[in-house]
Amino acid sequence: MNDRSSERSFLTPNTEKRLLQLLQQIGIMFGGQIQAHKILHHTPRTARTILARLKKEYKIVEHTMTVGGKDYRIYTLGPRGAVTLGVSYRPDYWLNYTDSETVQRLMAVDLYMRMCDYLSASLIVRASESPYIFTFVHGDKAYQVGVVWDNAVQFSETYRWSPPKERVILVCQSINQVNDLLKHLEEYTPIRITTRNKLREGLVFYKPENGRWVLDIPERQIKTKIRIVHKHRILLP
């Protein structure tokens, strides 16, 4: 079996389509995120080979983003990828994102992947109103997703007048970024916070309690096609 045949044997239509759908829904991804979450393959070398082929076939498009003098490879949906999904293609659509929105979308990817792993299911991704970036939908549950970057004041002003009444998950660089929100929240407020570092460990949240953030770690629900084998209470808000 030659290298190309071997590579194709690893890439199922569903695997390829999953990546394309993610790019269509979220808009943009780091190459490192594709590798870290093993979206294409669990072996980095094979994943890189597949990624190169998808790029050559114009199903995805590679760009370079420079942050702090360091270059990062990022990917967006390509013209043939759009055809595969049956959606319209907008060239260079990602250039319409502000720098802040680009960072917010990239940070939301890690939360999306962790939630998919935890729930053993893909989530529907919908656009959301400011200050949120997306709404993640799983079954009859919807989660407003926000990323705290340069917009912490916007969240504080929003919650000052209207604390969350529906499920909210915020991703931030550091838990200290959202300490100011605590004065607007109660223990029963349906909000959870996570950080970039915590998402590297798994699906780890903080919740408000007695005026501070305390850890709230969901326990995994293990499923089979027939029944739930072992069920824990789900602490997602």
Residue 165 is encoded by which pair of tokens? 């009444």
DSSP single-letter state for residue 30? E
Q: How far apart are alpha carbons 55 and 25 in whole angstroms?
A: 18
What CATH topology corresponds to 98-237?
Trna Endonuclease; Chain: A, domain 1 (3.40.1350)
Model pLDDT, residue 108: 96
Q: Among the CATH numbers 2.40.50.140, 1.10.10.10, 3.40.50.2300, 1.20.1250.20, which is that of 1-96? A: 1.10.10.10
Torsions phi, psi of 163, nearest 5?
-60, 155
Helices (H), 57-121: 79-85, 99-119
Model pLDDT, residue 120: 85
Residue 127 amino acid letter: A
Residue with tokens 């529907």: 124
Q: How far apart are alpha carbons 204 and 213 in whole angstroms?
A: 12
Q: Closest Cα to residue 164, out of 133, 186, 135, 148?
A: 186
Q: Where are the domains of the chain?
A: 1-96, 98-237
Model pLDDT, residue 223: 43
Q: Which residues are 171's β-sheet partners? A: 147, 194
Q: How far apart are alpha carbons 95 and 145 in whole angstroms?
A: 22
Task: State the Rg of the chain over Cα.
Answer: 19
Residue 175 is encoded by which pair of tokens? 């838990």
Q: Please count the other Cβ atoms lying within 10 Å of the Cβ belonging to residue 28.
A: 23
- Write down the pTM of the prediction: 0.84
Model pLDDT, residue 61: 96
Q: Closest Cα to residue 237, out of 214, 212, 206?
A: 206
Q: Which strands form 191-195's sheet, in the order they lie side by side?
A: 124-127, 134-138, 141-148, 168-172, 191-195, 205-209, 212-216
pLDDT tens track, the chain, 237 positions: 444 544 444 455 677 888 999 999 999 999 989 888 888 877 888 888 889 999 999 999 999 988 778 898 999 999 999 999 999 999 889 999 998 999 999 999 999 999 999 988 889 999 999 999 999 999 999 999 999 999 999 999 999 999 999 999 999 999 999 999 999 999 999 999 999 999 988 899 999 999 999 999 776 544 433 333 333 333 454
> Which segments within 54-164 are labelled E, that is strand?
60-67, 70-77, 124-127, 134-138, 141-148
